[in-house]
């Protein structure tokens, strides 16, 4: 199975600056691809496009040669950087998990999700605890590709290693494809089989001051 | 007690607890920081690392005297040898002690950035050259000064917060997670500014998850876990690796860094409502023995640092 971005371009407002221009990339199942590049270069935008949260202005995102279906559960799942923004604040955590049809006790315990957290509201949990739920619900049976957008930046290194360990393990077991967006070079080298520098495949030229950042 | 030298900031056996309603009108105390000691000297950056929810930000707020009303504090906090009473704290904060808050929501949404950075004092205008200098170093365009916080990106807002804290003449800067969202180059520049402050004889308390980055700028590292300090080490100990560290948790932190093995540790930090009776780390520790479960070890000196463990050698 292959997830593919074909010549996609995107801008947030019709008269605004273009973020991505004519970008193409692909990932096969079982692959772990890192996406690096300075902020403002469209890493998160690319992640959202590939997961179907945004629609490209031109070009297409294809899963096995076909566009992503708008209905039902999506086989491409995205984990956001800010879990507090990705969870319904009015739902208790148990309901958040049930929505994805996912209640694998064994995985929950490996992620360290305590039973008593299920009856709490999102605001009663810390960022690290919420992110465990986001990982759990994205790992339901139908997931074939997982996109982790700065999944572990606000976590301490032990929690970071715990989460990644579970994700890498599941990805391998199910032969999932993994896209890893990160600023952390060490992390990218550690988890990825291949690393793409977005500034090299993006045909939108960003301004000089931004390019200077790349050299740092 | 005879003090050989006076710390700029000295926190001894600090405990913080929150009064909460349990059921109906029944109140309970939730202890979030227990028996915590740290000190910052002039000319020094102390980095505070450790798990999320271990009380790092609460320590910062306790020092500033801005904890919520239902918090109760025990223990001693001294600034230049003087007890930090609420009145004294009020005098100090914003003048002698500056805070870089963790959340970007601390910016006043109705005030232009420039005004917030310069502050309200009589000599605010005099700080304009300094503001230009700092903005330039942190790659903030001059036009940012005229903008309102809602117009800033996350990383820009953080850089504004850093400028706010370092532009004054504060003797002690407390930076609570100042760098997330910043690009590596900008984060390094921010830390370099803190380093320069320290080299001028000021003190910096740097709270961070980014151990990697902090190691290159800090002098000492305090490792926090479940509301207390487990170890105090020099940054050199962290740089030279696992063997130089003392506490099993610090070693585990080191091993969990992506470049050092990326090894997770089983189990989770205990919830402050249900702390173990002995060593707070004992449920996850491979060296745990009977005495660890019964008694909380005291902080003791070891190989030039401090550690809270019976077995550390």
Nearest-Cα distance to chain A for B94, in Å, is: 27
Burial grade of B311 (CB within 10 A; 0-12, 13-18, 19 or more): middle
Q: How many CB atoms lie within 10 A of CB B272?
A: 18
Indicate the pLDDT class of residue A128, thresholds 50, 70 and 90: confident
**Is B154 contained in some domain?**
no
* Closest CB from B184, B188, B252 relative to A183: B184
- The label of the residue with tokens 């309200």 reads B120
Q: What is the pLDDT of residues B164-177, one digit of tens each?
A: 999 988 999 999 98
> What's the predicted TM-score (pTM) here?
0.83
All structural domains of chain A, each given as residue ranges with its CATH number in brackets, are 2-214 (3.40.50.300)
Give the model's pLDDT for residue A3. 96
Place of tokens 């910043």: B182
Say yes or no to pLDDT of A212 above 80: no
The count of domains in chain B is 1
| Residue spans of chain B under pLDDT 50 | 1-2
Among candidate residues B31, B162, B172, the one with its CA nearest the CA of residue B106: B162
Q: Can you tell me the distance from the alpha carbon of B136 to that of B112, in angstroms, rounded to the nearest whole number?
A: 18
Among chain B residues, CA nearest to A127: B52
Starting at the edge strand found earlier in the chain, the sheet holding B9-23 runs: B26-40, B9-23, B71-79, B82-83
pLDDT confidence of residue A205: 66
State the CATH number of the domain containing residue B295: 3.40.50.300
* Contact (Cβ atoms closer than 8 angstroms) between residue A93 and residue A118: yes
Cβ contact, residue pair B264, A162, below 8 Å: yes
- Name which of B95, B24, B50 is nearest B238 in CA terms: B50
pLDDT on residue A206: 61
In a domain, B176, yes or no: no
Q: B283 exposed, middle or buried (CB, 10 Å; 0-12, 13-18, 19+)?
A: middle
Q: What is the pLDDT of residues B7-17, one digit of tens each?
A: 999 999 999 99
User: Who wins on pLDDT, A40 or A109?
Assistant: A109
Question: What is the reported pLDDT for B105?
Answer: 79
B304-308: long-range contacts, CB 8 A cutoff, minimum separation 24: B304/B234, B305/B231, B305/B232, B305/B233, B305/B234, B305/B237, B305/B246, B306/B229, B306/B231, B306/B232, B307/B230, B307/B231, B307/B232, B307/B246, B307/B247, B308/B228, B308/B229, B308/B230, B308/B231, B308/B247, B308/B279
* B 22-81 residues inside an 8 A Cβ radius of A: 49-53
A55-106 residue pLDDT tens: 999 999 999 999 987 777 889 999 987 787 888 989 999 999 988 876 788 8
Cα–Cα distance between B270 and B293 in angstroms, integer?
Answer: 14
Alpha-carbon gap, residue B125 to B107, rounded angstroms: 20
Evaluate if residue A210 carries a pLDDT over 50.
no
Cβ-Cβ contacts under 8 Å, A184 against chain B: 258
**B163: which 2 tokens?**
């400028």
Written as six digits, the tokens of A125 are 């949990």
A112–B contact, CB cutoff 8 A: yes
What is the Cβ-side half-sphere exposure of residue B135, based on CA atoms within 13 angstroms?
17
Closest Cα of chain A to B301: distance in Å?
A: 26
Residue B79 pairs in a beta bridge with: B9, B82
Interface mutation target, options B264, B267, B272, chain A, most CBs of A under 10 Å: B264
Mean pLDDT across the stretch A111-127?
Answer: 82
Residue B202 lies in a domain: no
Q: Please report the ipTM that was assigned to this predicted complex.
A: 0.79
Compute how many other C-beta atoms are within 10 angstroms of the C-beta atom of residue B142: 11
Considering only CB atoms, B185 lies closest to which of A126, A127, A216, namely: A216
Please give the pLDDT value at position A39.
Answer: 65
Residue B300 lies in a domain: yes
Query: What pLDDT score does A214 carry?
Result: 36
Q: Provide the domain limits for residue B17.
A: 9-40+51-96+217-307
Handedness of CA B256, B261, B262, B264 (dihedral sign): negative
State residue B4's pLDDT score.
Answer: 55
Residues contacting residue B303 through CB under 8 Å, at least 6 positions apart: B244, B246
Residue A155 pLDDT more than 70? yes
B261 in a structural domain: yes
| Residues A46/A35, Cβ–Cβ less than 8 Å | yes
Q: What is the DSSP letter of A183?
A: S
Residue B257 lies in a domain: yes
Verify whether the Cβ–Cβ distance A156 to B52 is below 8 Å. yes
Q: Is the pLDDT score of A201 beyond 60? A: yes
Q: Which chain A residue is nearest to residue B224, measuring alpha carbons?
A: A156
Decide if A158 and B155 are in contact by the 8 Å CB cutoff.
Answer: no
Contact residues on chain B for A158, CB-CB shorter than 8 A:
51, 252-253, 256, 264-265
Cα B107 to Cα B297: distance, rounded to the nearest angstrom: 41
Residue B81 lies in a domain: yes
d(CA A59, CA A10): 9
Sheet with A145-149, strands from edge to edge, namely A76-79, A145-149, A177-181, A32-36, A194-197
Q: What are phi and psi of B141, to 5 degrees?
A: -70, 150
Angle of helix B128-137 relative to helix B154-166, nearest 10 degrees, comes to 140
- Identify whether B109 is part of a domain: no
**Quick check: A213 pLDDT over 70?**
no
């Amino acid at each position: 199975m292959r997830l593919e971005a074909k010549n996609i371009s995107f801008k947030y407002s019709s008269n605004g600056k273009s973020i991505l221009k004519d970008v193409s990339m692909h990932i096969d199942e079982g692959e772990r691809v890192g996406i690096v590049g300075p902020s403002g270069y469209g890493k998160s935008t690319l992640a959202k496009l590939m997961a179907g949260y945004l629609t490209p202005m031109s070009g297409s995102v294809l899963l096995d040669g076909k566009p992503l279906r708008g209905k039902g559960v999506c086989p491409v799942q995205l984990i956001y950087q800010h879990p507090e923004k990705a969870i319904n604040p009015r739902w208790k955590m148990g309901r958040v998990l049930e929505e994805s049809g996912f209640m694998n006790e064994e995985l929950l315990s490996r992620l360290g999700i305590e039973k008593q957290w299920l009856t709490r509201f999102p605001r009663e949990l810390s960022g690290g605890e919420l992110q465990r739920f986001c990982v759990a619900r994205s790992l339901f049976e139908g997931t074939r590709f997982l996109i982790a957008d700065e999944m572990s930046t606000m976590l301490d290194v032990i929690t970071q290693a715990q989460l990644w360990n579970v994700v890498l393990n599941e990805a391998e077991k199910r032969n999932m494809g993994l896209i890893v967006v990160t600023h952390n070079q060490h992390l990218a080298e550690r988890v990825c089989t291949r690393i793409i520098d977005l500034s090299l495949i993006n045909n939108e030229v960003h301004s000089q001051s931004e390019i200077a950042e790349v050299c740092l | 007690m005879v003090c050989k030298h006076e710390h700029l900031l000295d926190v001894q056996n600090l405990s913080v607890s929150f009064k909460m309603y349990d059921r109906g009108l029944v109140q309970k105390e939730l202890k979030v920081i227990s028996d915590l000691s740290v000190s910052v000297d002039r000319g020094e950056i102390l980095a505070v690392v450790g798990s999320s929810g271990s009380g790092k930000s609460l320590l910062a707020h306790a020092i500033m005297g801005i904890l919520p009303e239902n918090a109760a504090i025990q223990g001693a906090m001294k600034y230049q040898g003087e007890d930090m009473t609420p009145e004294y704290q009020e005098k100090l904060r914003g003048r002698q002690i500056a805070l870089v808050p963790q959340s970007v929501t601390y910016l006043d949404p109705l005030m232009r950035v420039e005004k917030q950075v310069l502050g309200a004092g009589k000599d605010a205008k005099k700080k304009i050259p300094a503001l230009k200098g700092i903005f330039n170093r942190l790659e903030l365009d001059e036009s940012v000064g005229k903008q309102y916080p809602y117009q800033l990106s996350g990383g820009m807002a953080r850089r504004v917060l850093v400028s706010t804290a370092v532009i004054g003449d504060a003797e002690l800067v407390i930076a609570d997670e100042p760098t997330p969202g910043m690009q590596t180059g900008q984060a390094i520049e921010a830390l370099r500014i803190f380093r320069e402050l320290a080299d001028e004889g000021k003190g910096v308390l740097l709270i961070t998850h980014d151990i990697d980055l902090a190691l290159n700028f800090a002098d000492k590292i305090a490792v926090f876990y479940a509301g207390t300090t487990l170890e105090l080490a020099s940054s050199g100990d962290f740089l030279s690796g696992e063997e130089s560290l003392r506490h099993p948790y610090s070693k585990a932190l080191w091993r969990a860094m992506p470049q050092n093995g990326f090894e997770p540790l089983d189990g989770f930090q205990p919830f402050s409502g249900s702390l173990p009776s002995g060593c707070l780390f004992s449920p996850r520790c491979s060296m745990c023995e009977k005495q660890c479960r019964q008694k909380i070890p005291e902080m003791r000196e070891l190989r030039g640092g401090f550690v809270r463990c019976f077995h550390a050698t």
